[in-house]
Amino acid sequence: MASMFRKRGSARLSQEIPKKKASNRGGRGQNASRGRGAGPRAKRTVHRGGVSTRALADEWAEKDNVGVQDSVMLEDFKNESVFLKNLATRFNKDLIYTYIGSVCISVNPYKDTGIYTDAFARIYSNVNMYELPPHVFAVADQAYRSMRDELLDQCVLISGESGAGKTEASKKILQFLALNSTNTGKAGNIRDRLMETNVILEAFGNGKTIRNDNSSRFGKYMEVQFDHKGEPLGGRILNYLLEKVRVVSQMAGERNFHIFYHLLASSDAPAYSLAGGPDGYHYANQGGASDVRTIDDSKEFGAVYTAFQREGFSSEETRQLLSVVAAVLLLGNTHFSPQGSDGSRVDDTAALEAVARLCGVSGSDMEHALTHRTVMVGRERTATYLSADKAAYARDALAKSLYDRLFSWVVQRINEAIAMKATTVRTTVLGILDIYGFEIMQQNSFEQFCINYCN
């Protein structure tokens, strides 16, 4: 996966590459654990909760003595096999990060290596990028300090294959900014709100793929806005290329978006006309992978509900939002059979009536919308029948459109919650671009094709 920040046209990139159970990076040469140009480490001794950050920094630097921290220092730096061997050597010692100059590469370990604690985030604050072993925190610190000290907007770009750890890296950058950015208290709880956005967006925009249990199926660009002192004042999120086809179709071994399974596993499901598990819903059971070992759907629903409250969603907004989620799920259980020479009818109206009730329309209007289409002949509107196949297509199109608009509304509502209040002080922006991963599937959506092209 790749992360990049830009300053006056130059680019700094941090890239994560998935490997079977692999990740984290390391050093720059057998005897050069401090990195290039760092010189003697400044004597910073800060005690927080009884922990010396200097002692932790020294211990961490001492551990990173395997391979070469910066690939430009490899003797045969143009040799791909030498480059990959260096990554593997470091990875085998749980050193998942390696630089290529200002580019940071990571190999996903698919485990907690213990290097993302608040203590680790603190030792990378206000430190030369090459003074400590390679880390995503170093990239975050360099981008933040360049923005704060030079008043220049920055951007961190995160890209790579599916399962590389891109979404996790974006969360670690936010963690670092929340912990180490200037804090005078005037921004209130904006730090917490920025962090809670991930909980909601992952539920509505992530799903299980063959390669990744929590794969982002949309692109996200988040801007964090700071004042001239480097204190966060607000944020903004732009979303793009939501994989809408996943709403109605999943390949073997995959799931729909997480929120469907979260809602089905919750005690609130009956209130939305849902009963039973995912296997009873066409839009949720096609992949045959409803249960995911790494995800507790009931627990995750509680986390999402709490995040709604912290982001300022009203109880009525939450109810209506979940009603649309349930309506989309029930639409998949609406089936059609031929009627007459070219028409169709709904086989079982129970699911359709539930959908209509959740959407606030009548059952007859909903059935007519799914089994007919309206065409303009001159200035007159004429309704024509849809065959059973075309009615099923119309049902899927409605489901995709509903979910796409729902997702866009959620992002808009989050933006209202994290928006920067009007200010007269000069502001700068630190952007984080997380594009979902390169992946070649048996059936590739248009959105996946676009993402593969971008990657």
Catalytically active residues, by annotation: 162-163, 167, 212, 215-216, 437, 439
Nearest-angstrom CA–CA distance, 289 and 209: 10
Q: Which of 229, 279, 273, 257 is nearest to 428 (CA)?
A: 229
What contacts 281, CB < 8 A, 6 or more positions away?
Answer: 260, 264, 329, 330, 332, 333
Q: Which residues contact 370 (CB under 8 A, 6 or more apart)?
A: 334, 336, 346, 352, 386, 391, 394, 395, 398
Q: Is the dihedral of CA 170, 175, 176, 181 positive or negative?
A: positive
Helix, strand, coil percentages (3-state) for the chain, rounded to 5, are 40, 20, 40
- Helices (H) then strands (E): counts for the chain: 14, 16
Instruction: Give just the sign of the alpha carbon dihedral 358, 359, 360, 366.
Output: negative
As a whole number of angstroms, the distance between CA 109 and CA 103 comes to: 19
Residue 447: HSE in the Cβ half-sphere, 13 Å Cα cutoff? 16
In this structure, which amino acid lies at residue 106? S
SS3 258: helix
Burial of 349 (0-12, 13-18, 19+ CB in 10 A): middle
145: left (phi over 0), alpha (psi -120 to 50) or beta: alpha
